[in-house]
Amino acid sequence: MQQAEQTSAPATTPSRPGHGAERGSARTPQRMPDRIGTLLTLLLERPISLYAAAVLRIGYGFLYLAFLLREFPHRNEIWGPGSPWTPTLARQLFDQTGWVSILTLSDSRAYFEVCYAAALVTSALFMLGWRTRAVSVLFAVVVTSFHARAIYMTDGGDTLILLMVLYLVVTACGRRWSLDARRTRLRASAVKTDRLPLDQASGELRRHLRDARLTVITVLHNCGMLVIAAQVCFLYGSAGLYKVQGAAWGNGTALHYALNLDVFQPWPELSAMADEHDVLIAIACYLTVLLQVAFPFVLFGRLKYPVLTMLLGMHLGIALFLGLPLFSGAMIVADAAFLPDRFYRYLGQLWRLTTQRDVPRHHPPQHLGHQPLPPTRALPVPRGR
Amino acid sequence: MQASSEPPVVLKAAVHVAVILCLATALVHVLLVFLQVAPPNPLSRQYSRQVNAWVFPLFEQNWRLFAPDPESVNRQISARTMHTAPDGTVHVSGWFDLGAVDTAAVKHDPFPSHTSQNMLRRAWTSYLETHGGDDRPRSQRALMIQQYLGNIAVDRVAAHRTGAFESIQLRVITLPIAAPPAASGHSPGAAAPRPTDTRYLPWWKVARHATS
């Protein structure tokens, strides 16, 4: 994450004195304060990985929407008043654990249906990035409520989604690829000339207030993204280290057992077929442990790209073989947070090119300004200096 | 644009405080989450109160995904019901396989429901955690889980069978997954198939009467 920001910095932050020192790495000890200063400027003034934050927003919004829709036939059984984990049991547990949920405020079925519908709408709006900050808070309330209500039906995927959704509240995840970004862009091009300059004194104060607000938002975002990165590292690190302690992972048979669990066998024929290749199973076991343990350590070098690619393959395998697409999806989205912004800008360009070629009639030129071009477009925070 | 003046001191100070608060919170959060995720150690024991106060419940996490070892057993959880007719005769039903409903639902579904993959599975593992080897609930939580497990059984039986009943009993057959042929060839000790284990739970009065 940080690396991505540094490499793209020269294009967007022209000639800042401390910058050369940072890139040229500390050749002399005197440069150290300079480097810390640069890092601090980075932290205070430049929101890191805005595209990755947008990908997290879109990814988790989409996953939760898909989850809610998938469980539509079972909604009452999982979260509703008709669940075997009755509202009374849930409230009793909340008293012991401190969880809260809007779903236990009433035992009426109608109230539950309203909550469920509201959850669908909130997930969709969050995914689209409409009034993102406010909606992200609502979405966090929704996910927490549904998670807490059915705490004994959750798995690792649900936990990860909850954590990420909580962290996303403090990030500026609506700055890219969102309805908010679209509105800002349209307004900027429409009202540029209309805005009258304010009188001197109040204009100054307003500008200072705006700057202060921007700084705080930027720091919050950066801290949020760093916490997300640390969280994913903890996840992989501990998942890997716990596996190291297991005999089955050590002798390469763990996946044999995983493939033979009844409820994680959507395609029994496929599982049986994979199970026959004991050498491949053993290799996959070792690779899984190695990748998970290595994850936190490869993030700062180029090795992260092959590792992320292999993890993607691993999660697609889990989704298919074990029937855990929600869990795998949550992990894939989390991994995507580590891809640099220039990668996502490139994706945006690609997308623009294909849409341009395929359906030129449906997309008038002003519509195509969706994804900002990397070299020309300035960074999101116009700072008064 | 005219030259900008310095921002007011109060504003500057407020921003500084906010920045420091953000950074400190992020650092403390990462540290406390680490202590919760890590196995118990002197540091986490010493600060367990602070760790728990901060992390629970929202940030509680456990990433033992198929670790240290994946489950090496399948469990067949069945239920039978008892009905006392008005004339006093007692009728006990045959066993109904609760898990078969899940296995059937998961089969050929690329996106299985949490009700099939997690509901009965986690209810039973929670029962094992809270009750241990015998069936005497020792805590409030154990009672709650027992009620949950009973409700799941009652709901499923009622959905698939007709007829009233007043009590229900669960039977859990643990079927070990055979070691792969290659692995058992190397170590003859592991080759012997582990025995299947059958556990009968006591009869429970049905609290929530479900009708189909």
Shared domain check, A97 and A161 = yes
Q: Would residue A161 count as lying in a domain?
A: yes
Give the number of beta-carbon pairs within 8 Å between A and B: 224
Shared domain check, A239 and A164 = no
Of A154, A223, A243, which is closest to B68 when you measure between CB atoms?
A: A243
The number of folded domains in chain A is: 2
Distance CA A177, CA A183 (A): 11
Distance CA B75, CA B142 (A): 20
Cβ-defined contact of A385 to B117 (cutoff 8 Å): no
Helices (H), B38-173: 42-46, 48-55, 98-106, 114, 120-131, 140-160
Distance CA A69, CA A83 (A): 17
Strand, helix or coil for residue A148: helix
Cβ-defined contact of A85 to B71 (cutoff 8 Å): no
Q: Would residue A223 count as lying in a domain?
A: no
A372, two tokens = 């900002």
Give the residue numbers spanning the domain of A318: 233-336
Shared domain check, A174 and A246 = no
Shared domain check, A257 and A172 = no
Distance CA B23, CA A216 (A): 11
Strand, helix or coil for residue B59: coil
User: pLDDT class for B193, splitting at 50, 70, 90?
Assistant: low
Residue B144 identity: M
Residues of chain A contacting B179 with CB distance shorter than 8 Å: 253, 256
A68, two tokens = 């809610």
Q: Would residue A153 count as lying in a domain?
A: yes
Q: What is the mean pLDDT of residues B86-102?
A: 94
Cis before B68? omega within 30: yes
Residue B150 identity: G
Residue A353 identity: L
Residues of chain B contacting A205 with CB distance shorter than 8 Å: 8
What region, left, alpha or beta, does residue B95 occupy, with left being phi > 0 and alpha being psi -120 to 50 degrees?
beta
Distance CA B6, CA B12 (A): 9
Q: Would residue A368 count as lying in a domain?
A: no
Task: Write down the pLDDT at residue A35.
Answer: 86
Residues of chain A contacting B102 with CB distance shorter than 8 Å: 262-263
Residues of chain A contacting B177 with CB distance shorter than 8 Å: 256-257, 260-261
| A300 CA to centre of own chain | 19
Please answer whether residues A197 and B1 qualify as being in contact, where contact means their C-beta atoms are separated by less than 8 angstroms: no
The separation between the first and the last C-alpha atoms of chain B, rounded to the nearest angstrom, is 76
Q: Is B129 on the interface with A (CB under 8 A)?
A: no
Nearest chain A residue to B54 by CA distance is A98
Residues of chain B contacting A80 with CB distance shorter than 8 Å: none
The residues near B40 (Cβ < 8 Å, ≥ 6 apart) are none
Cβ-defined contact of A93 to B144 (cutoff 8 Å): yes
Q: What is the mean pLDDT of residues B47-59?
A: 93
Q: DSSP secondary-structure letter at A130?
A: S
Shared domain check, A169 and A55 = yes
Distance CA A218, CA A229 (A): 16
Of B56, B66, B123, which is closest to A98 when you measure between CB atoms?
A: B56
Q: Is B63 on the interface with A (CB under 8 A)?
A: yes
Shared domain check, A158 and A56 = yes
Nearest chain B residue to A225 by CA distance is B26
Cβ-defined contact of A99 to B57 (cutoff 8 Å): yes
Residues of chain A contacting B112 with CB distance shorter than 8 Å: 263, 266, 323
Q: Would residue A11 count as lying in a domain?
A: no
Cβ-defined contact of A234 to B183 (cutoff 8 Å): no
A41, two tokens = 């400027």
The residues near A156 (Cβ < 8 Å, ≥ 6 apart) are A327, B62, B63, B65
Cβ-defined contact of A98 to B57 (cutoff 8 Å): yes
Pseudo-torsion of CA A307, A311, A314, A316, nearest 10°?
Answer: -130
Shared domain check, A171 and A63 = yes
Shared domain check, A254 and A168 = no
Distance CA A363, CA A129 (A): 21
Residues of chain B contacting A89 with CB distance shorter than 8 Å: 144, 147-148
Residues 60-99 of A with CB under 8 A from B: 66, 70-71, 73-74, 77-78, 84-86, 89, 92-93, 96-99
Q: Is B97 on the interface with A (CB under 8 A)?
A: no
Task: Write down the pLDDT at residue B192.
Answer: 55
Strand, helix or coil for residue A108: coil
Cβ-defined contact of B61 to A268 (cutoff 8 Å): no
B163 vs A87: which has the higher pLDDT: A87
Task: Write down the pLDDT at residue A287.
Answer: 96
Q: Is B209 on the interface with A (CB under 8 A)?
A: no
Q: What is the number of other CB atoms lying within 10 angstroms of the CB of residue A88?
A: 13
Task: Write down the pLDDT at residue A68.
Answer: 98
Cα–Cα distances (Å) from B115 to A75, B37, B41, B105, B146, in that order, read: 10, 27, 36, 9, 18
Please list the residues that pair with B97 across neighbouring strands: B78
Of A155, A246, A324, which is closest to B67 when you measure between CB atoms?
A: A246
Q: Which of B121, B109, B22 is nearest to A223 (CA)?
A: B22
Q: Would residue A35 count as lying in a domain?
A: no
Task: Write down the pLDDT at residue A247.
Answer: 93
Q: Which of A110, A61, A105, A113 is nearest to A87 (CA)?
A: A105
* Tens-binned pLDDT, residue by residue, of chain A (385 aa): 444 333 333 333 333 333 333 344 444 555 778 888 888 888 888 999 999 999 999 999 999 999 999 999 999 999 999 999 999 999 999 999 999 999 999 999 999 999 999 999 999 999 999 999 999 999 999 999 999 999 999 999 999 999 999 999 999 999 999 999 999 999 998 876 555 555 667 788 899 999 999 999 999 999 999 999 999 999 999 999 999 999 999 999 999 999 999 999 999 999 999 999 999 999 999 999 999 999 999 998 889 999 999 999 999 999 999 999 999 999 999 999 999 999 999 999 999 999 887 655 544 444 444 444 444 333 444 433 3
Q: Would residue A385 count as lying in a domain?
A: no
Q: Would residue A140 count as lying in a domain?
A: yes
Helices (H), chain B: 9-37, 42-46, 48-55, 98-106, 114, 120-131, 140-160, 181-186, 188-191
Cβ-defined contact of A249 to B62 (cutoff 8 Å): no
Task: Write down the pLDDT at residue B132.
Answer: 86
Cα–Cα distances (Å) from A319 to A59, A180, A258, A312, A328, in that order, read: 16, 32, 13, 10, 6
Q: What is the mean pLDDT of residues B133-144?
A: 92
Q: Which of A74, A76, A73, A136 is nearest to A103 (CA)?
A: A76
